[in-house]
A and B are shown apart, each in its own frame.
Chain A
Amino acid sequence: MPMDAREIETLIRESLPDAKVVIRDLAGDGDHFAAEVVSESFRGKSRVQQHQLVYEALKGNMGGALHALALQTSVPD
């Protein structure tokens, strides 16, 4: 069951309440999204760790229902 942008945003916000989240649907098929996530909880973490936080927030959907999520993470300025 593909996901939609709102579901992804909601899941990310549940784990990262302060996050600023921008989701773009790349293909309109519920399977290929790009997401930019800005959150204080990324501060001091490597890129891999930052992305893992987002993947954990997506509760196992990543690589399953959600085939592709081009992810960009950063800390607030």
Chain B
Amino acid sequence: MSDIQAWIDNEVKSNEIVLFMKGTPTFPQCGFSGQVVQILDYLDVPYKGVNVLENDDLRQGIKDYSNWPTIPQLYVKGEFVGGCDIIREMFQNQELQELLGSSKTVA
């Protein structure tokens, strides 16, 4: 396992909820990353944001790690949950709330 894969693996396994994104939760730098940040903030769950723009190896490494070609990528309890489309779909049908243990319903 390369260094970057090991680093990613550690981030995924040592944080309950981690979002690999473009930018940071306070300053998302891509519409899709921003949408997932909005959903997570609305659900009021603690999560770690990892800015893949800071390191090209990371930006490519995360795509190899999950065999998923785009950013953002959400991981919960060490499992890849999905990108923006899947997170939005799960949020709309309450699946995400159940997974994250949030009591917030869709407005």
A binding-site residues for B, Cβ under 8 Å: 47-48, 51-52, 55, 60, 62-64, 68, 70-72
Q: How distant is B39 from chain A, measured CB to nearest CB, in Å?
A: 15
Complex contact B70–A48 (CB within 8 A): no
B interface residues, tally (CB under 8 Å)? 15
Q: Given A48-B80, A51-B82 in contact, is the A63-B89 Cβ separation under 8 Å? A: no
8 pairs, A vs B, C-beta closer than 8 Å: A47-B82, A48-B80, A48-B81, A51-B86, A62-B70, A64-B69, A68-B32, A72-B89
B binding-site residues for A, Cβ under 8 Å: 32, 63, 67-70, 80-86, 89-90
Q: How distant is A23 from chain B, measured CB to nearest CB, in Å?
A: 15
Complex contact B89–A48 (CB within 8 A): no
Closest 4 CB pairs of A and B: A63-B69, A62-B69, A63-B70, A47-B86
